[in-house]
Amino acid sequence: MRIVVLAGGIGGARFLRGLKRAAPDAEITVIGNTGDDIFLFGLKVCPDLDTVMYTLGGGINEEQGWGRAGETFHVKEELAAYEVEPTWFNLGDRDFATHIVRTQMLSAGYPLSAVTEALCHRWRPGVRLIPMTDDRVETHVVITDGQGRRAIHFQEWWVRLRASVPAEAIVAIGIEDAKPAPGVLESIEQADVVLLPPSNPVVSVGTILGVPGIREAVAAKTVVGVSPIIGGAPVRGMADACLRAIGVETSARAVAEHYGPDLLDGWLVDEADAEVAEQGIEGIAVRARPLLMTDLEASADIARAALRLAEELR
């Protein structure tokens, strides 16, 4: 079986770990969000690609959900001692090495997809991880604060401001001209099923779908999604602030309707949202089941349910 997953960071990575357990023989291709990418200290940092790579490769900080296990922060402290900005983005010493290797390869002329493949050679995530595009796409957020109305990098809004200032708009700069990375459209075309994990519907899955050509390719397949919203709230993180910015209610139903029946065939909601399954959504098969990824087995059960629903709808 060939499975394609459009993944952001933590939610995507945890779902993927369950999916690997649920479908050990499947060929899994992960199309990763790169809209969160940021240049820091001259280095190219790809938070979502790295979260997937470290989680599936066994190097993740489990409690945090991002960054490396057993991390130290000497480089960060030294940079702070030089009063080099920014100080609000946490980069550990081990993590720094990844960004150095990546930046070195990019500078030598390799596209991000080739660099990601090279990094995965070490981590062996057990999936094929491809960035959505090799082109530079950066998510920016329009806010109004003491400095007036301005656009800041998504990471500054998310990490420094903890999404406390309302987003007036969320814009993926460069996306109109971005091309899907090599292998992206091919893997979607060859897929038996495309899964949308419980990733951020706006700045993770939404950004991937915004790369010209990807949404159309995905819509042509059997697509099953897992709701990142349970009982009207994101399980962790601040996805509600992103949904608000695009005028979508923070509910399992509204996210499915936002994706739309042209894209989604099936939708898993949590038991807390069982009424969505009972009432139904026009054009989308909805099933209610526990959706908390509390551990590997719970994540695997969710993945199994998504695959069963896809099989039913295929």
Question: Between 187 and 200, whose beta carbon lies closer to Ca ion?
Answer: 200
Question: Between 12 and 125, whose beta carbon lies closer to ligand GDP?
Answer: 12
Name the residue number minimizing CB distance to ligand GDP: 8
3 touches, from Ca ion, ligand GDP, none (C-beta below 5 to 8 Å by class) = none
For the bound state, the minimum distance from the C-beta of residue 137 to ligand GDP, rounded and expressed in Å, comes to 15
Instruction: With CB under 5 A as the rule, give the number of residues binding Ca ion.
Output: 4
Name the residue number minimizing CB distance to Ca ion: 9
How far is Cα 205 from Cα 267, in angstroms, rounded to an integer?
15
Length of the chain: 314
57 neighbors 123 (Cβ within 8 angstroms)? yes
230 touches, from Ca ion, ligand GDP, none (C-beta below 5 to 8 Å by class) = ligand GDP
Phi, psi of 223 (to 5 degrees): -120, 125
Kindly report the three-state secondary structure assignment for every residue of 62-130.
CCCCCCECCCCCHHHHHHHHCCCCCCCCCCCHHHHHHHHHHHHHHHCCCCHHHHHHHHHHHHCCCCEEE
Selection from 106, 151, 150, 119 nearest residue 51 by Cα: 119
How far is Cα 161 from Cα 245, in angstroms, rounded to an integer?
15
For the bound state, the minimum distance from the C-beta of residue 191 to ligand GDP, rounded and expressed in Å, comes to 20
For the bound state, the minimum distance from the C-beta of residue 36 to Ca ion, rounded and expressed in Å, comes to 4
Question: Between 56 and 310, whose beta carbon lies closer to Ca ion?
Answer: 56
For the bound state, the minimum distance from the C-beta of residue 102 to ligand GDP, rounded and expressed in Å, comes to 18
For the bound state, the minimum distance from the C-beta of residue 148 to Ca ion, rounded and expressed in Å, comes to 27
Q: What is the dihedral of CA 267, 203, 243, 64, to 10 degrees?
A: 90
Binding residue (CB under 5 A) for Ca ion from 3, 4, 5, 8:
8
Considering the rule CB under 5 A, would residue 9 count as an interface residue with Ca ion?
Answer: yes
Question: Between 219 and 243, whose beta carbon lies closer to ligand GDP?
Answer: 243
For the bound state, the minimum distance from the C-beta of residue 291 to ligand GDP, rounded and expressed in Å, comes to 4
Q: Which of residues 39-68 bind Ca ion (CB under 5 A)?
A: 48
How far is Cα 310 from Cα 81, in angstroms, rounded to an integer?
53
User: What residues line the site for ligand GDP (CB under 6 A)?
Assistant: 8-12, 48, 51, 198-200, 204, 226-228, 230, 234-237, 239, 291-293
Cα–chain center distance at 163: 17
Buried b (16+ CB within 10 A) or exposed e, 195-221: bbbbbbbbbbbbbbbbbeebbebbbeb
228 touches, from ligand GDP, Ca ion, none (C-beta below 5 to 8 Å by class) = ligand GDP
The tokens describing 218, both together, are 């995905």
CA angle 114, 90, 101 (to 5 degrees): 25
75 touches, from Ca ion, ligand GDP, none (C-beta below 5 to 8 Å by class) = none
For the bound state, the minimum distance from the C-beta of residue 270 to Ca ion, rounded and expressed in Å, comes to 21
Q: Strands of 123-211 (E only): list them.
A: 128-131, 138-145, 148-153, 169-173, 193-196
For the bound state, the minimum distance from the C-beta of residue 134 to ligand GDP, rounded and expressed in Å, comes to 20
114 touches, from ligand GDP, Ca ion, none (C-beta below 5 to 8 Å by class) = none
State the residues that interact with Ca ion by CB under 5 A.
Answer: 8-9, 36, 48
